[in-house]
A and B are shown apart, each in its own frame.
Chain A
Amino acid sequence: MGRVELTRFPIIKSAVKNRWPQLAVFIVTLVGYLFAILAGLVGTPVGSRNFSIVFVWIAWWAILILVAVPFFGRGWCAVCPIPLPGEWLQRGAILAPPDKKPKWLNLRWPRALRNIWLQNISFLLLALFSSVLLTTPNITGIVLAAMLFAAIGLSAVFERRAFCRYLCPVGGFIGLYSQTAPIELRIKDKKVCVKCEGKPCYNGSSTSPTAPLSANTGYGCPWDVFPGGLTKNTYCGLCMECIRTCPYDNIAINLRPFSADLAKPSARMDEAFKAFIMLGSAMIYAGVLLGPWGVLKDVAYNVGTGAWLIYAMVFLAIIFIIMPSLFALCISRFGNLNAFKKRFATLSTALIPLGLMFWVAFSLSFVLANASYILASLSDPLGLGWNLLGTAKAAWQPMLTSILAPGQTLALVGGLVWSARTAQKASTEAQVSSVPVIAYSLLATLVMLWLLL
């Protein structure tokens, strides 16, 4: 299957080039985000009755992991409200034309940190506290507010969307898994980019500050990516700015086969460890949150106690030592260390589809059991006794639990086959056998099946 250029269709093209539709969605998501912060801070402390918990960790999470990431890659990043206030302040405008004068410090992000290690750390920080974060409205409110302020602060100091690119705990895994999505933003003709002067897609195209924003003027890539060099989805936030800016109409949104980016695996250690972090976290959550072992829930929830410290150490040991070591053992061969690191990173690409499907299987269970809280929360978002839609008293009722186990099996076995196919491509690149990687994926899948079924 080849690629289909979606921006070839006038309705899609005009929706993408025009800033107003995206702004309208931004306003809705920003209002929802601010309301989630408010609900978390002033609403009921009962998580299952509070908008911040129900909408962030059930509704948004379901949309993100079951729909947005698998089918639209970084589609959520295209409408995420977190970078907006900082970006508007940074530009000194919402829709006005860029005048190329930096509003704040506009520093380059430090070279040593131009990777996703900080995103790995920020995700793990949240993951270690997840039992509290997922269930306590004021903690969710504080974390959401902290992310908003961090994004504003980084926009004040650094150029572009430094928070999204280098720090956002969610953006890191969306980027990793967006490589599997059947959608991409790419240039149409490389030669056009080579000849293009000024590279407005990266540098922005300035006009007179009083001139209206025309079709081909806009900001340089907020994600610090040169679209001409894009070979994978990981760092493209689908903000669509380059499509608006390109004077040659040389950038397109394409429909493509699933996991097209994984045919040419990355050899970066930060991305390899992101794959382990996500795979390991899904397995740990399946055991701790969805398993029948009350003692695990106790230690995960009682943050700061000695038992929690042991839990945190075990969590980190599984992700940073046990799982990577086992993987390394599977693929080890005699040779120099650099070659081994490259092979390790290349072959870990196979864990990307596997991890995504682990998260889908985990989320199915959590979301179907708790989705009925959404109705009550819509009617009484702060848990203050309102009944705006007449559904505040809607009873809790798990949904579709009879198809849960088959659905999880389908996701996990499908993920295993997908991972095997990816392992085969990666092993061709690394010139080694794919068998050990597939055996590793099989072992992980069997453990996950045991945890979930």
Chain B
Amino acid sequence: MRSRLLLLLLVVAGLLVAFAPLPVRPITPQERTFRVDARQFAYSPSELKVNPGDTVTIQLVSTDVVHGLYIDDYGLSVEADPGQTTTLTFVADQPGSFRFRCSITCGAMHPFMIGKLNVGENHWLYRSAGLAVLSVIGFFPFSSLVRTKSKEERAMAGNH
């Protein structure tokens, strides 16, 4: 009984850590422009940080072969020929951390040409770390209860 109650508590705590809404600091949206140089097989800068609601303009400049830039979840992409600049403008309306990847096969390491767009804080990372810590903290009392229970059951079975 106690182990079930503890498990329930842990599940509720886990759900809270994973999904509880966090207080949002009001930030006035801004226009942000980044010049991103693309070369085999890296972007520079490789990490972009904006606030939710910002209007983001990425100027993609390819310094060697044709490269692309595709942003996961936003589903937006842009391509740049060597030496040329192309522009992608969008509103960063989804908070979180997103990988952006080269969308044009540009050479051997193309599948690993990856950058990162952080829209606001990377809350999912903090929530995941919180879940990991919670799972360890909850593990000890839970497993101790389960072990005590199974010992009692074995003892009872022995008595019978």
Contacts and interface: CB of A to CB of B under 8 A. Distances in A.
Interface of B is mostly: mixed
Interface string A98-141: 00000000000000000000000000000000011001100000
A449 B111 CA distance: 21
Interface stretch (A86-94, A149-157, A294-302, A324-332): A294-302
A290 interface: yes
Contacts of B143: 420-421, 424
13 contacts: A48-B105, A135-B111, A292-B115, A297-B113, A396-B105, A401-B99, A405-B124, A409-B127, A409-B128, A412-B132, A417-B135, A453-B125, A453-B128
Interface of B: 39, 41-44, 46-47, 70, 72-73, 96-97, 99, 101, 103, 105, 108-116, 122, 124-125, 127-129, 131-133, 135-136, 139, 143
A295 B136 contact: no
Contacts of B115: 292
Given A413-B131, A453-B125, A293 B46 contact: yes
Interface residues of A, number: 44
Nearest to A404: B72
A445 B128 CA distance: 10
Contact of A291 (B111, B114, B135, B139): B114
Most chain A beta-carbon contacts within 10 A, residue among B70, B72, B108, B122? B108
DSSP majority for the A interface?
A: helix
Contacts of B44: 294
A416 interface: yes
Given A398-B72, A402-B73, A449-B129, A409 B109 contact: no
Contact of A292 (B39, B46, B105): B46
Interface in A388-403: 396, 398, 401-402
Interface of A: 46-49, 131-132, 135-136, 289-295, 297-298, 301, 366, 369-370, 396, 398, 401-402, 404-406, 409, 412-413, 416-417, 420-421, 424, 438-439, 442, 445-446, 449-450, 453
Contacts of A404: 72
A450 B128 CA distance: 9
B128 A369 contact: no
Nearest to B42: A294
A369 B111 contact: yes
B43 to A, nearest CB: 7
Nearest to B94: A402
A406 B105 CA distance: 28
Most A C-beta atoms less than 10 A away, residue of B47, B116, B136: B136
A438 B42 CA distance: 36
A221 B43 CA distance: 53
B41 A297 contact: yes
Given A290-B114, A438-B136, A438-B139, A301 B109 contact: yes
The 9 closest A-B CB pairs, nearest first, are A294-B42, A292-B46, A135-B108, A401-B72, A409-B128, A453-B125, A292-B116, A289-B112, A420-B139
B155 to A, nearest CB: 18
Contacts of B129: 446, 449-450
A408 to B, nearest CB: 8
A292 B132 CA distance: 24
Contacts of A132: 108
Given A48-B105, A49-B105, A131-B109, A413 B128 contact: yes
